[in-house]
Structure 1
Amino acid sequence: MTSTVPASLPLTAGGAALQAVFLDMDGTLVDTEGFWWDAEVAVFADLGHRLKEEWRDVVVGGPMARSAGYLIEATGADISLAELSVLLNDKFEERIDRGVPLMPGAERLLAELARHNVPTALVSASHRRIIDRVLDSLGPHRFTLSVAGDEVERTKPHPDPYLLAARGIGAEPVRCAVIEDTATGVASAEAAGCRVVAVPSVAPIQPAAGRIVVQSLEEVDLLFLRTLITSPR
């Protein structure tokens, strides 16, 4: 899959205040945040370094360049950012090829959004090669479009990925609901002007104006998301 964001797509949400739903991938839809940490631990072990568990919260949910760069600096590993990125993506692909488990409630929510013709976008800091492998498992037909971290000049926590998704669908960011599992992703969506549902996966996320924190996607349905858009900030 090479195309990501078409120039514009018609809205099909029946004129509801909610125009689109954007979903993060790792840790939000698929239970893979731990896969990334396992990949990082394995790659650095091969390089002769042991990662500290407390570094996990630092690298979770961030773009590859930030996470990999932090770990190079923290360990002093003799490897370039580009070389490490390739090794991490390779190791992660090996893991997801054995199966990609969905987060609780993800299957039901995706089915409900499709049933009501709500435009959806998969918006991830992961690279395109990784997103496409996961989409093969999830079913690319479930998403109107997808945005990868290596397809924007500035990825999360900057607003660019969510602004690009809104523009591709033809929606106003303020009428888009975003589901994220990390503080980095939440910051990106809120900077874009979207309303956010946070489902923390590894590190806690605090409630804030315009943001709701839930324990699981099992607490989220279409009515919940529509109410999020229509309620005061």
Structure 2
Amino acid sequence: MDGTLVDTEGLWWRTTEEIAADLGHRLTAVDAAEVVGRAVEDTAAHLVTVAGRGAPEAVAAALTSAFFARVEAGAPLRPGARELLSALARDGVPFALVSASPRIVVDSVVGGALAHVPFRFTLSADDTPRTKPHPDPYRAAAERLGVRPQDCVAVEDSPDGAASAEAAGCAVLVVPSLLGVPGSPRRTFLPTLEGVDAQVLRRCLEGPVTA
């Protein structure tokens, strides 16, 4: 969701910058791997560690509240996202949303920028014992869809998201946003979702494709 379908990674970064500043830490590119694509609790734990102050639970609550306020104010769709989701719905391809964001944020985005998109279901960080980069979310999604992970394509933008999907057994279409994502035999890289449809996703199951 974040950075893949909706342009919220920038909102998350600015939120984390503000909370980090409140703790006396200036967020830089060095922190990016612990911020982008990570669960709120992971980012909170990182901020507490680098700042040397604060309680992880309180920082996580502050991050969630501030990010939710920004998302509620509006989260624009990424280029090609609307067309891809419409094409999948038109072709009868089942699809779900798998996010490392809290349920409150997922529901806000799905009720706003992604309103009327016919997801079979949505999975948030609150819905599995472990979230990304662990494989739990994508394994749970495949099980609910009634298919093998190996027959699924995950669309991701971050290293942790891609790692989660690949560890679950999915093929991965990577459209990077804020962070670079390392390559692997199960990952296809495209610069944008523009022009991506069900046919492109099916080709991802056969191995990496090129633009």
CA distance in 2, matches of 1:72, 1:57: 15
CA distance in 1, matches of 2:94, 2:50: 41
Task: Spell out, residue by residue over 1:187-226, the C-alpha distance to the aligned partner (whole angstroms, 9 max, x if none).
Answer: 1101110010011111112332121111111142111011
What is the deviation of 1:140? 5.4
Q: Across the two proteins, how many residue pairs are aligned to each other?
A: 208
**What residue identity is the alignment partner of 1:103?**
R
Question: Which residue of structure 1 aligns with residue 59 of structure 2?
Answer: 84
**What residue identity is the alignment partner of 2:125?**
G
What is the deviation of 1:231? 4.7
**What residue identity is the alignment partner of 1:212?**
T
What is the deviation of 1:55? 1.2
Question: Which residue of structure 2 aligns with residue 213 of structure 1?
Answer: 189
Q: Is the contact made by 1:206 and 1:213 (CA closer than 8 Å) also made in structure 2?
A: no
1:162-201 to 2 correspondences below 5 Å: 162-201=138-177
Q: Which 5+ residue runs of structure 1 have no aligned equivalent? A: 1-24
CA distance in 2, matches of 1:30, 1:160: 22
Q: Is the contact made by 2:157 and 2:177 (CA closer than 8 Å) also made in structure 1?
A: yes
Percent identity, aligned pairs only, is 43
3-state DSSP of counterpart to 1:197: strand
Task: Spell out, residue by residue over 1:30-70, the C-alpha distance to the aligned partner (whole angstroms, 9 max, x if none).
Answer: 00011111111112333444323431243211111211111
1:52-131 to 2 correspondences below 5 Å: 52-77=28-53, 79-131=54-106
CA distance in 2, matches of 1:91, 1:64: 12
3-state DSSP of counterpart to 1:37: helix
2:108 to 130, 133, 139: 133
TM-score (norm 2): 0.93
Distance 1:212 1:75, change over 3 A: same
Task: Spell out, residue by residue over 1:135-191, the C-alpha distance to the aligned partner (whole angstroms, 9 max, x if none).
Answer: 101125421011111221111111100000011110111110100001101111011
Name which structure has the greater RCO, CA cutoff 8 Å, separation 6+: 1
**What residue identity is the alignment partner of 1:145?**
F
Distance 1:213 1:231, change over 3 A: closer
CA distance in 1, matches of 2:208, 2:3: 28
TM-score (norm 1): 0.84
**What residue identity is the alignment partner of 2:141?**
A
Q: Which 5+ residue runs of structure 2 have no aligned equivalent? A: none
Question: Which residue of structure 1 aligns with residue 4 of structure 2?
Answer: 28
Over the aligned positions, Cα root-mean-square deviation in angstroms equals 1.7
**What residue identity is the alignment partner of 1:83?**
A
